[in-house]
Amino acid sequence: MKTKISILILMISVFYSCIINNDSDFKITKSDLAGTWALANFEMESATVLVTNPAPTQTIIADVRGSNYNAFINFSENPDIANVTGDFTLEISYNQTNVDIYTLDAFIFNDIFGFTSSAWNYSDNVLSLMHGGLSLDLDIIDFTGDFMKIELDVNETVTINGITSNVFGKSIVTLEKQ
C-alpha cells in the first residue's frame, strides 16, 4: 500500500494544479515554448497525503526528488501538440526511514491517462495540456528562455486503485530548452 501511496503523491503533483498565480516579471509567447524541453529537476517537499480509504485513516508526509533525467517534452506549433518521451528516477522519502525509488516513463502520462501526446495552449503564464476531455493547467513561475520552472499547488482528493487520498503540497518542475 505504501508503494501505491507513493506513486499517488507523484501523480497528483505532476497532473493537478489547483491554485494558479499569474503575477510575474516575465512575458512568454507561444513561440517561446515551441521546441524540445528536457526535464532538469522535479521536487515536492513535505507533501501531505491523508489516506481515507481503506480505513483506518493514515497521514503520510513525503519528500519527492527526481534524478537520472532522460525525459523530454516537445511543443510543436500548427498543430499545437505536446509529445512526452523518456524516463527519470523518482525517490520518495516518507516517515523518516522509508524510501521508495521508481523509474517513471514519459512523465507517466501514458501510465495515468493512456497517452503521451496532447493538445497544448498558452495564455497569461499558464500552460494548458488537453486530451480526451481532460485539461491540466500548469503555472509557469519563472522563464529565462533556456529554463522554465512550473509550480503546482496541490490540494486534491483522488481515488486510484481503490485508495482514496487527500493530497496537499507544492511541486516544482524545471525544464531546460534543448
Q: How many domains does one find in the chain?
A: 1
Express each pLDDT in 56-107 by its tens digit: 888 888 887 889 999 999 999 999 999 988 888 877 777 767 776 766 665 5
What span, in angstroms and rounded, lies between the C-alpha atoms of 165 and 116? 25
Let me know: does 113 contact 135? Beta carbons within 8 Å: no
Express each pLDDT in 118-177 by its tens digit: 899 999 999 988 888 878 788 999 999 999 999 877 776 767 667 787 878 888 999 999
pTM above 0.75, yes or no: no
Q: Domain limits at 72?
A: 2-177
Residue from 173, 116, 119, 167 nearest 148 by CA: 173
CA atoms within 13 A of residue 57's CA, in its CB half-sphere: 4
Q: Which 3 state secondary structure label does DSSP give 23?
A: coil
